[in-house]
Amino acid sequence: MFKDEAPYLREWIEFHRIVGVDHFYMYNNNSSDGFEKELAFYTKEGIVTLIPWTKEHAQVEGFEDCIRRFQGESDWIGFIDVDEFLVPVEEESLTTFLDRFARCPSVFVYWRFFGSNGMLSRDRSRLVTEDFVVASEKLYGYGKSFFNSNYDYLWNSDRNRTMFHRLWTVYHGKALPPTDMFGRAMIGNWPRPVGTKKIPIQLNHYAIKSLEEHRDKDKKGDVFFDHPTHGDSVFFNRDLRCNVPDYRIYKYLSTLKYRLAEIEKRNAEISDG
């Protein structure tokens, strides 16, 4: 689900195509920033299914709508935001990672926070994945979930109040918790932060970017919360967590830049035609 994120859409889509995502169900939450132009190639080629979602602060309801409508045509459905990038570390791709969890109803991947790199503002035509390389020392205890469509979602349960974080399923009447990326059942309290030396994959969370971008994020409102959640204090507190370099995503940069240039050409052809 996205809201006024046009400058970031192509980078996010093209990166995830590189690591193994086949299709994108994108819920537009009342955007008015020309996002249609950024998605023109992807919608024309059937890579993106664009769904208008006009309800405010109804992110979970939208994601549940996605399960209800598209479960039958997907092997896995992941619920990640446009400021989150799935980076294989010891795995070759997202596909090989998920293959290991074929018998798990849902899988959870941990966040790694990325800071501002000292930027108060920046040129937003540049790549997020290239500009921000200073990260938290450990993986954060929160993250995002992938739903295995061979199982049933646990409907009408408070356990799925924030299902994009912890997605519960049901099998033969028994509620099943998510499994984290280390193969551990996620029951009880949120896990503590974990190290980054031996991990299959991480979810790079570019939650703040530059101070200017962070402030703009606060102005446009949130798709989940009905109150401001991204004030300056949040920016500086999160930035303080980020003190080590992480260039793991850089192995994809040349491929990403090449493919984005090709998409720019294709998009221009669509506009001219």
Q: pLDDT value at position 205?
A: 98
> What span, in angstroms and rounded, lies between the C-alpha atoms of 127 and 123?
9
Domains in the chain, number: 1
Residue identified by tokens 């506009």 is: 271
Q: What is the pLDDT of residue 196?
A: 86
What b/e readout covers 213-225, taking b as 16+ CB neighbours within 10 angstroms? bbeebeebbbbee
DSSP label at 4? Answer: S
Task: Name the residue range of residue 56's domain.
Answer: 6-272
pTM score above 0.75:
yes
Q: Are 243 and 137 in contact (CB under 8 A)?
A: yes
Specify whether the CB–CB gap between 153 and 169 falls below 8 A: yes
Q: What is the per-residue pLDDT for 219?
A: 85
- Residue at token pair 């200073």: 134
User: Is 1 part of any domain?
Assistant: no
| pLDDT tens digits along 179-220 | 999 999 998 877 777 888 899 999 999 999 999 999 998 887
Contact 186, 180 (CB under 8 A): yes
Q: Please provide the average confidence, as pLDDT, over all residues in the chain.
A: 93
* 3 state DSSP class of 106: strand
- pLDDT for residue 162: 94
pLDDT, residue 231, reads 86
Both tokens of 44, joined, read 């024309």
Low-confidence stretches of the chain (pLDDT < 70) are: 221-229, 273
Residue 220 lies in a domain: yes
Any domain includes 210: yes
